[in-house]
Amino acid sequence: MNNLLILPILIPLLTAIVLMMLSKYVNAQRVLSAVSTVATIAASIVLIRKVSVNGIQTLNLSNWEAPFGITLVSDMLSALLVTTTSIITFVVILYSFKSIGRDRERFYYYPVVQFLLVGVNGAFTTGDIFNLFVFFEVMLMSSYVLLVLGGTKGQLRESIKYILVNIISSALFVITVAYLYSVVGTLNMADISMKISEVEQPAILTVIAILFLLVFGLKGAIFPLYFWLPGSYFAPPTPILALFGALLTKVGVYSIMRTYTLFFYHDTGYTHQILSVLAIITIVMGCIGALAYWDVKKIIIYNIIIAVGVILFGVSVMTPGSLEGSVYYIIHDMIIKSALFLLVGVMAFIVGTSDLKKMGGLIKDYPWLGWTFFVAALSLAGIPPLSGFIGKLLIVRGSFEGEAYVGAGIILASSLAVLYSVLKIFLNGIWGKPKEYKVTSKGNVNYLWFTSAILVGLAVCYGFGADVIRPLISQAAEVLVDPNIYIQAVLKE
Amino acid sequence: MEILMAIVIGFLFMSAVYLMLSKSLLRIIIGTGLLSHGAHLLILSVSGLKDKAAAPLLGEHAKDYVDPLPQALILTAIVISFGVTAFFLVLAYRAYQELGTDNVDQMRGTEGNE
């Protein structure tokens, strides 16, 4: 059944429409959104199986031949990302039951989360550059609503900035697509790639490549364009923050991966050099932020920026090893970031603030929470058997092969900064002298801990089961290394 | 014709950037409006502005039609920017009610971090 690859978009879309009619019945909304997200996960896992057996899956919508209609393309990279996205959304929905609060739940919280899932899954699956823009907007529009939902002062203030930045980047996206269309005369990504290799990327296409870097860099928070992220991500409540931190920037990173491996691989000396320099500075800036703050949310937020830098550095080196490492790392990072945000959310829930200086000694009352956080922290830093290790190892090895020694050194050094920043949370918040905090119901805390532990468990499995998953990752990286596989799958020559 | 359009679009972008760098929230929103006008005009002009081509309606039975694709793209982009602008305007209204100012300079301060 070839319609399989539209299911991860269609199921949440239909669910969202149904959920909008049930806005008064919170329990029905909870059950329905959880059940449908499980269905989305199931569909995407079947999709992974299908892609691993039969190769890249494509679907020409309403039977229009490839360059003329919209084509959905599911290669292994997008199938893996779609699955990861759906799993994270499922866990976040479970977490929301006890943390987001009735008021938000009654005002269309669950439908908007489903729309966000539509946007992200669609952006990962589409094979058309303008359709990518539309799915970006679906995702962004839901993120605006999620960011401002509740209407506290901080949220209103940060939403204004976030929306303004994204309006500008969307306008830039439209402009860039217009330029690209005027040069190549097509919108289908495989066809664009073919046309670009026919004209061998003249200078104007290099300009367009840099414009794409600006557009997706604004979404994915790379060095000079990440200024909006720390404030905006600080405003919303924990589950929304976990969704944003895990998914939104990664869509930007994925789009850079796609465009820079599928379109603009002819003049890597210029474009990829810039990407690599920006990635390195992104890592450094993220490290500075992560070390500077004494706020648990801010520390993890700056860790997002570091991870974006690491992944993009792997992309910029363009050796098979580093690309494989990037694929490994992006999935690891999505899982572990959402897990960490949920865990620090539990900590902030217990203490009543996210200020690290007001926390302390949580291990006495909540030992399981403490140790789960410890595992997640080590996993984030990339301690060997855990999930962050293999990705970073492959990226570093790949960059040594590509003779990018400076970047590799900085990635290794950044791991230290990452480890220090999360252990700072561990040593001060979970260890240390117990401080006074308002007693909250332990049942709630245990529930929230349990849901976040699902993701940590998943991250641990991802680390230990690296061998099992390796063939899938290699298959995903293959397409990035050789764009012809992608083109042939779509245009079927 | 395309050159004239390029200059006009350039002016639109210039005014948009200027307005978006100002302090009043409403001026910023007007800037985003101009920015999207510029972007939409740009899509229309990059595919070429033919002088003697018919509107893309098959009933016209013309020899030459204008490129229909950019028109579809613009239509999509217009409704999207409508949606976003409507949301932004209401958000600005709410923010004015809650925060009591429309000056973005005074919308500083992120509680919770030093």
Exposure string over A293-329, b if 16+ CB within 10 A, otherwise e: bbbbbbbbbbbbbbbbbbbbbbbbbbbbbbbbbbbbb
Q: Is the pTM of this model over 0.90?
A: yes
User: What count of other Cβ atoms lies within 10 Å of the Cβ of residue A7?
Assistant: 19
CA distance A123 to A121: 5
Q: Which two tokens stand for residue A145?
A: 């609503």
* Lowest mean pLDDT segment, chosen from A223-232, A440-449, B83-92: A440-449
CA distance A13 to A115: 6
CA distance A435 to A327: 41
What is the separation, in whole angstroms, between the first and last Cα of chain B? 55
Percent of chain A with pLDDT over 70: 99
Q: Do A74 and A51 touch, CB atoms closer than 8 A? A: yes
Confidence of residue A493 (pLDDT cuts 50, 70, 90): low
Check whether A137 has a pLDDT greater than 90: yes
Nearest CA distance, B62 vs chain A (angstrom): 22
CA distance A163 to A212: 19
pLDDT for residue A201 = 80
Closest Cβ–Cβ partner in B81, B88, B95 for A157: B95
The predicted model gives B99-112 an average pLDDT of 74
- Per-residue pLDDT reduced to its tens digit, A280-298: 999 999 999 999 999 999 9
CA distance A452 to A36: 20
DSSP for A145-185, written as a single string: HHHHTT--HHHHHHHHHHHHHHHHHHHHHHHHHHHHHHHH-
CA distance A349 to A360: 13
CA distance A225 to A282: 9
Nearest to B1 by CA among B45, B59, B34, B60: B45
pLDDT for residue A46 = 95
CA distance A147 to A251: 17
* Lowest mean pLDDT segment, chosen from A53-67, A428-442, A447-461, B62-76: A428-442
Which residues of chain B does A164 touch, with a Cβ-Cβ cutoff of 8 Å? 20, 28, 32, 88
The predicted model gives A22-28 an average pLDDT of 91
| DSSP alpha helix (H) spans, B1-114 | 2-20, 25-46, 68-99
* Cα dihedral A60, A61, A65, A66 in deg (nearest 10): -50
- Per-residue pLDDT reduced to its tens digit, A187-201: 999 999 999 999 888
pLDDT for residue B46 = 87
- Per-residue pLDDT reduced to its tens digit, A246-268: 999 999 999 999 999 999 988 88
pLDDT for residue B112 = 43
The predicted model gives A156-181 an average pLDDT of 94
Query: Which region, left, alpha or beta, applies to residue A379 given φ > 0 means left and ψ of -120 to 50 means alpha?
Result: alpha
- Per-residue pLDDT reduced to its tens digit, A466-476: 889 999 999 99
CA distance A241 to A247: 10
A386 against A124, higher pLDDT: A124
Average pLDDT, chain B: 89
Which residues of chain A does B32 touch, with a Cβ-Cβ cutoff of 8 Å? 164, 167-168, 171
What's the Cα-to-Cα distance from A417 to each of A116, A292, A302, A376, rounded to whole Å? Answer: 32, 11, 11, 15
Beta bridge partners of B65: B54
The predicted model gives A154-169 an average pLDDT of 93
Nearest to B5 by CA among B37, B33, B42: B42
Nearest CA distance, A454 vs chain B (angstrom): 29
Confidence of residue B109 (pLDDT cuts 50, 70, 90): low
Q: Which two tokens stand for residue B38?
A: 């510029």
Nearest CA distance, A113 vs chain B (angstrom): 18
Q: Do A319 and A400 touch, CB atoms closer than 8 A? A: no
CB contact under 8 A, B42 and A178: yes
B86 touches chain A (CB under 8 A): no
Q: Do A278 and A219 touch, CB atoms closer than 8 A? A: no
Residues within 8 A of A (CB atoms), B 31-70 only: 32, 35-36, 38-40, 42-43, 46-47, 69-70
Confidence of residue A361 (pLDDT cuts 50, 70, 90): confident
- Per-residue pLDDT reduced to its tens digit, A296-350: 999 999 999 999 999 999 999 989 999 999 999 999 999 999 999 999 999 998 8
Residue A188 φ/ψ, nearest 5 degrees? -70, 130
A135: three-class secondary structure by DSSP: helix
Contacts of A213 (CB under 8 A, 6+ apart): A222, A256, A260, A271, A274, A275, A278
**Tokens 């260890």 map to which residue?**
A431
Q: Do B91 and A159 touch, CB atoms closer than 8 A? A: yes
CB contact under 8 A, A168 and B87: no
Residue A293 φ/ψ, nearest 5 degrees? -90, 155
CA distance A24 to A286: 42
Nearest to B63 by CA among B49, B74, B52, B51: B52
Check whether A387 has a pLDDT greater than 90: no
Nearest to A331 by CA among A129, A139, A476: A476
Which residues of chain B does A133 touch, with a Cβ-Cβ cutoff of 8 Å? 77
pLDDT for residue A440 = 67
Which residues of chain B does A156 touch, with a Cβ-Cβ cutoff of 8 Å? 91, 94-95, 98-99
pLDDT for residue B114 = 37
Q: Do A132 and A126 touch, CB atoms closer than 8 A? A: yes
Which of B15, B78, B84, B103 should one mutate to test binding to chain A, selecting the residue with the greatest count of A CBs within 10 A?
Answer: B84
- Per-residue pLDDT reduced to its tens digit, A405-424: 999 999 999 999 999 999 99
- Per-residue pLDDT reduced to its tens digit, A365-378: 889 999 999 999 99
CA distance A50 to A31: 29
Confidence check on the interface: ipTM exceeds 0.90, yes or no: yes
* Lowest mean pLDDT segment, chosen from A216-220, A272-276, A381-385: A381-385
Interface of A with B (CB under 8 A): 130, 133-134, 137, 141, 144-145, 148, 151, 153-154, 156-160, 163-164, 167-168, 170-171, 174-175, 177-179, 181-182, 187, 231, 234-235, 293-295, 297-298, 353-355
Check whether A208 has a pLDDT greater than 90: yes
A35 against B112, higher pLDDT: A35
Confidence of residue A154 (pLDDT cuts 50, 70, 90): confident
Q: Do B9 and B49 touch, CB atoms closer than 8 A? A: no
